[in-house]
Structure 1
């Protein structure tokens, strides 16, 4: 039976979970936890998930926003991982073409750079083979003029040519939300802002958790036959609670991205390039902006709120001006930024960019199953391994049998568009329909591209609630996004809407400033916030707006930093 995923019913869902026993309880609502919930629910397991922040608030909204095969890991001979995640790109795309799309990537090579013509050609050929790339998307090698024709802004000095290959671009937060929505539609119960404070044991076995609702302070107990630690950067924190942090452990690294308007950085073509110190950086055009990243530095401070520093910003700006010398980007051109933490598995003696992105599953004496490491691209395969393990253990313990994984061909929420090949026709048809609901063609098309097959629900809500838009001082297209985020995506705070549900704080920060006050007022009315709650959530959004633009060092007056 489909469960509610409305923020107005969030407390009700917690009451339903309280004292109940599930087959599987997942701690962590990033892409890995969401994938596990979907896999388990589609196999018929009674499934629950709790997340201490918002869904995707950690690493899963702060990546380079690529479902990519990890070309650079070939240099580290991670052949098996490249083969596995490379093949997964097409699966992720086919199951949700509204949140993932192929993106041709240009890899220029210069004299003395990391890549040469021969190594690039061989590397991309091997990559195509390992990733099972379809013929139309296999790599092409370019000479100097062809490379510059694709992207005229590239540094011409000592340019030797370029490789051209396909990656897949995604909206990482929306991918996570859509996977979570589908898990809920298949019967899982999932709640955000619910922090596991204590683990409950019986005869040395973990049987449940005690979790606190971060919005009202109430405490709930949730029980399960099997419990999964899918908390990403907090994996070791939970293992410490379980007294099972031994052997392998995490090494956190931080990456940041800068967003610049296309008027200042008119990049035509996604580019993957090396920096003078040998690191690899992406520059990607998206929605009228160009975003560039990532850095790769060891990190051991505020895991929940990583921030850009002066050093981070300078490194990325220097990288842009090194590869695209004519644009002459400076600090005033940076509209927004984001910082994210990668939970990698510690490897002694390796620097941040050399550590493997492979995933591992650990099981403690108490029965806690931990999934660590891994990449966004491989989330579905990671989930399959975790649920296979849980299903095997449940069977051994006499709790029934479960079928094999079903998610390889299972569309995520919004993905029922008739397959990726049919998506362009779907967009055209549904955009035309949108005109009848009072939307402009541009507004309708953007909504269809964002919500995929859920657009019919959006149109239903416009009919039922569209007249509330004007009364709340919002244009119809803004209002309906906010309404849908609360009603169908458990958006509980303004930051949920402006960061995870729309991506606007990163890619359209002016839009956030323009509509934040009426959006906050409308959410406060609909979710019945007190004056104190409204003030608290407003301050939280203002802090995020500030942090997206102002480096940490400038804010506290401390300009000491280390890369």
Structure 2
């Protein structure tokens, strides 16, 4: 007899993890399958911002911006360890958008939704100020406003963790190979890299496969009904830190686009993003030299000390699975989410809900709306609940991260302050579960790579589905940036040794 679930979620990005969490919290039995690692595609390739999307106002997407602005407050309260306020500095460029337009846009941005934690926008002068230090003297003034930073991959993992704590089953390295409607429910063949294929049944499917969403629609036998998908590549580069303060810059470009320059991982600046139509394999997406040149030329139009090609220490690219609204410009294609609900030609109550588009900022609302759409089919009328719930590790008193960090420092005086701050940011209150009974550095196990002890690797493997070095170094910790190849190899070998020990034990 096959396993039976109320809901099968295909895709372990932010939308899939958010929906699995919401559904499990409503008492539904949920299975989420992800073909790779959690957040291994689009959701770890974002600009890592929780923001309303100031530039979307130019495209009249007021509903999307308002919803996103509202979500900033909700998510700040839910996960103050991985989400925090960030000041954005917008220089006024004489040849581009006039000041009145910028001021009007920021006025709307300030007032489309209530603000409790973030300040209003303000005019700034660059003469003799820290904000003006890295900028060419020709730029004398601009504006500052507030949005938020987020560790995108960790946000996905925390949603999956919360889903699991509420009864959902999360399976990574597991593909959905086939789907078919049978007797008013779905039959799915799923294949795990460890355990091979098996068949499960589900009352409903959520297709949150991101760039592979139309492939799943075709797999379900609904190819002729597939909604339009527009794949847009967004690429980022990372360079050594371009300024000492903790503000972000938002630079306008002659083509109407903007780019961000964001403080990143203590010693670096993250620059992005591009918007390029993409028609290749989403799993093989990579930055081009033209994109690197574009980003460098854009930011160098503003910086007093230019960033050079040799300064680029890392890059990454992702594919945004947007709903095709037939806009001729990739930059202007809507970032709003669109649902495609199919309940079958014969009236069977076996729905499949496919998701197109969406922003990481609005994932929680998207999940709510998805469960509202499915409620008539699943018969579950439990109310919305996630707006008031913290994510794992986010139960920090009053959401005051600085006070929490100070408390951690007092309790763990033996721990290196840089490592402690990173752990507090990554794990929040869960860091004490990771440390267990550890009373000193000797209790952390071997230091497998600089700043990465065995106790953390085992915690990530046991509780966060980490299976290999990439899962740890580039998604859950970002420690791969700046790490020597020998250190990366040491982490890889650690996982290989664990796998070998498991095979011997079996």
With normalisation by structure 1, the TM-score equals: 0.83
Relative to structure 1, the CA distance from residue 329 to residue 267 in structure 2 (aligned partners, 3 Å threshold; closer, same or farther) is farther
Matched, 1:177 2:153: no
Q: Give the number of aligned pairs.
A: 495
- What is the deviation of 1:304? 1.5
Q: Which residue of 2 aligns with 1:481?
A: 456
Q: Of the candidates 115, 123, 132, which is equivalent to residue 141 of structure 1?
A: 123
Q: Deviations over 1:192-231 (max 9, x none)?
A: 110111113215x551311111x34710222111111011
Q: Which residue of 2 aligns with 1:251?
A: 230
Q: Which residue of 2 aligns with 1:168?
A: 148
Matched, 1:118 2:100: yes
How far, CA to CA, are the matches of 1:484 and 1:81 in structure 2? 37
Relative to structure 1, the CA distance from residue 459 to residue 135 in structure 2 (aligned partners, 3 Å threshold; closer, same or farther) is closer
Relative to structure 1, the CA distance from residue 267 to residue 303 in structure 2 (aligned partners, 3 Å threshold; closer, same or farther) is farther
> Any gaps of 5 or more consecutive residues in structure 2?
345-350
Relative to structure 1, the CA distance from residue 386 to residue 151 in structure 2 (aligned partners, 3 Å threshold; closer, same or farther) is same
Q: Which residue of 2 aligns with 1:358?
A: 336
Spell out the pairing of 1:542-557 with structure 2 (5 A cutoff).
none
Matched, 1:282 2:264: no
Relative to structure 1, the CA distance from residue 162 to residue 365 in structure 2 (aligned partners, 3 Å threshold; closer, same or farther) is same
Matched, 1:155 2:126: no
Q: Which residue of 1 aligns with 2:429?
A: 453
Matched, 1:69 2:52: yes
8 Å Cα contact 1:151/1:269 also seen in 2: no
Relative to structure 1, the CA distance from residue 248 to residue 254 in structure 2 (aligned partners, 3 Å threshold; closer, same or farther) is same
How far, CA to CA, are the matches of 2:438 and 2:2 in structure 1? 38
Q: Of the candidates 515, 523, 528, which is equivalent to residue 500 of structure 2?
A: 528
Spell out the pairing of 1:25-40 with structure 2 (5 A cutoff).
25-40=8-23
Q: Deviations over 1:22-54 (max 9, x none)?
A: 111100100101110111111111111000110
Matched, 1:220 2:198: yes
How far, CA to CA, are the matches of 1:283 and 1:302 in structure 2? 28
- Find the residue that maps to 1:504 and give its secondary structure: coil
Q: Of the candidates 207, 212, 225, which is equivalent to residue 229 of structure 1?
A: 207
How far, CA to CA, are the matches of 1:28 and 1:193 in structure 2? 11
Relative to structure 1, the CA distance from residue 131 to residue 527 in structure 2 (aligned partners, 3 Å threshold; closer, same or farther) is farther
- What is the deviation of 1:487? 1.2
> Any gaps of 5 or more consecutive residues in structure 1?
1-17, 396-400, 532-563
Relative to structure 1, the CA distance from residue 456 to residue 149 in structure 2 (aligned partners, 3 Å threshold; closer, same or farther) is closer
Matched, 1:469 2:442: no
- Find the residue that maps to 1:329 and give its secondary structure: coil
8 Å Cα contact 1:108/1:163 also seen in 2: yes
Spell out the pairing of 1:5-404 with structure 2 (5 A cutoff).
19-113=2-96, 115-134=97-116, 137-145=119-127, 149-157=130-138, 159=139, 161-203=141-183, 205-213=184-192, 215-216=193-194, 218-245=196-223, 246=225, 248-262=227-241, 269-286=247-264, 287-324=266-303, 326-366=304-344, 367-395=351-379, 401-404=380-383
* Superposition CA RMSD, Å: 2.2
Relative to structure 1, the CA distance from residue 489 to residue 463 in structure 2 (aligned partners, 3 Å threshold; closer, same or farther) is farther
Q: Which has the higher helix share?
A: 1
Q: Which residue of 2 aligns with 1:511?
A: 483
How far, CA to CA, are the matches of 1:227 and 1:285 in structure 2? 39
- Find the residue that maps to 1:37 and give its secondary structure: helix
Using the TM superposition, name which of 224-233 and 496-505 deviates more: 496-505
